[in-house]
Structure 1
Amino acid sequence: MMFQLPSSDELYDALLRRDAVYEGRAYVGVRSTGIFCRLTCPARKPKRENCVFFECVAECLEAGFRPCKRCVPMQQGQEADPVVAQLLEALEKEPQRLWSEKDMKRLGHDPSSVRRAFKRHFGVTFLEMARQSRLRQSFEVLEDGGKVIDAQLEAGFTTAGGFANAFAKLLGVLPSELQQDGLLKADWIETPLGAMIAVCDTQHLHLLEFCERKALPRELAQLNKFCRGQMGLGRTAITEQIAAELSAYFDGKLQRFETPLALHGSAFTKQVWRALQEVPCGETRSYGALAVQMGRRSAVRAVARANGANQIAIVIPCHRVIGADGALTGYGGGLWRKQKLLELERKSAMAR
């Protein structure tokens, strides 16, 4: 049976006491510094409003927090396994590297053994941890006023050709099989939260997702089937429109998108997505509240499934759905992005 975290207030009290009862079972992420710690960390205690609590290291990393160098919350895994320690040290030295299984073999490690070791200690594989590190660096580059191309390099796309190869791999085809004059065209759009893939025709936006979303290959395969294999690379006027609107959104100047959408789902699923678009910028809803808003009080689970099936991120704001207790719930683009999006929208709404 998994350990159930107590309330955030109780965990904050434990943090102030440096209570060892929660050692290895709870961690605190500090929004003001971007780091996560053990509850026993000897560092100066953060303010309550800057704290968010997690059950495991994997959740902290997914939310975009870096491990504290004072309390070293990942130390237990390092001490228990020399392989883990060596790879964590290598990652710290080269966080921007596009790590692969070949790199593990070069360092003398079996990739499957590494995968099991990291999953056992941290709940996330080494390659997933490395990808999260690159994405976090991408965000930090832009936060520090860096150029978009610098963030793009940090995230892993170095050329249009590199994107073509990555996209073809996601789609499950050879790069040569991508249609030059496809009915649907895909391109990437850089944002402060990492690269997104946009798939458009000449009239509608069909897909907008962060590049590492796990459901992306399946979503692309469905779209490729929808257009009978006529998917290619490039931009349309719709791509330019959504890119411009995303830029204004991240600048805090746009709160409602006007790009026309092509919705691929059942009638009920489309109803949920339209209800999501009615949630004002700067506000949130629980699944239950969204079901009530739709007049479908008993359909909470169905609403949750439809929310998770959304393939037009940000524009259809599934990130505005939180738990009934106010806690952040799962998000395909990563909980750290969800937190950043909600913070951005609260600031935007307050500036109105």
Structure 2
Amino acid sequence: MHTVAILALDHVVPADLGTAIETFGQVRLADGSRPYEVRVCAPTQHVITDTFTLIAPHGLEVFDQADTIIVPGCSEIAGPLHEQVRAALREAAAREVRVASICTGAFTLAAAGLLDGLAATTHWAAADRLAEMFPAIEVKPDVLYVDNGQFLTSAGASAGLDLCLHMVRGDFGSAVAADIARLAVVPLEREAAQAQVVVHPHPPSPLGSTLEPVLRWIVDNLTRDLTLAQLARRSGLSERTFNRRFRQQTGTTPRQWLLHARVRRAQYLLETTDDSVEHIADRAGFGSTTALRERFKRVVGATPHAYRRNFRNASAEQPDSRNGPIESRPARTTLSA
């Protein structure tokens, strides 16, 4: 059982708190078991939010058994960090517990000194403040999340869900994470380097409603030889406008997004089927094993054969080491093009 301690501080953002609780609490393995035990904790029993008061069921002693600590964002970020919280976080970090923040929760990690010398992100509107208050941190305002191995940070709102899915995928594979993504009705393809926000604050049309049907159609048609012209026609836009809006919304090109979606499909098939790599290359839309191997190695960092072997070896073991899935994971903020 992997214990996830979720820290609730005064003025915690309820959406961030709920994202962590629901994501890890909903995870099921193939045998129906729950691999995560989720515990909400706080330095005091009563936690004040901007809209209600929360009674925390656990104190900070939960950190002693935690394998992962999640720090949701708070609406007020300027106040001093509770000394008991600082000490508990630093003690957990010294034991190599995985610690992750959602949105402005990065300020709590920073105030505890856990992010010094590392890259980190937070909500784009607070990124300048984070860089100003903690100059020892390399603040990356244009990514969804940053994975440094032991310490992880995410941007605001839905980026917290992206980070939680990323951790689930690292712990138990993309098939398990995909099940949670489907329950949340969100795509699993959003990657760390995707842009947080649309470039123009007042776009002429809602980009989400424009692109979401196209993105879903791409995932449903990965085996087709898709072209920019086809995608633009489906969106009712010119190629030039579609390409520009796609970059604004996703932070990457249509081709790169398509290739990453194909890699994720290949990962899922490698984990859940005994199909040959040649067959998986066809089912994921790569057409050839050479194309699959080259792209898979660039994105995942391993060949399809090595990924399948390592994943199945890891799945055969009980994940009782609190840092087993983390130690082999390199720091990551972007994916190779």
Fold similarity call, TM over 0.5: no
TM-score (normalised: structure 2):
0.34
TM-score (normalised: structure 1):
0.33
RCO (CA 8 Å, sep 6+): is it higher in 1 or 2?
A: 2
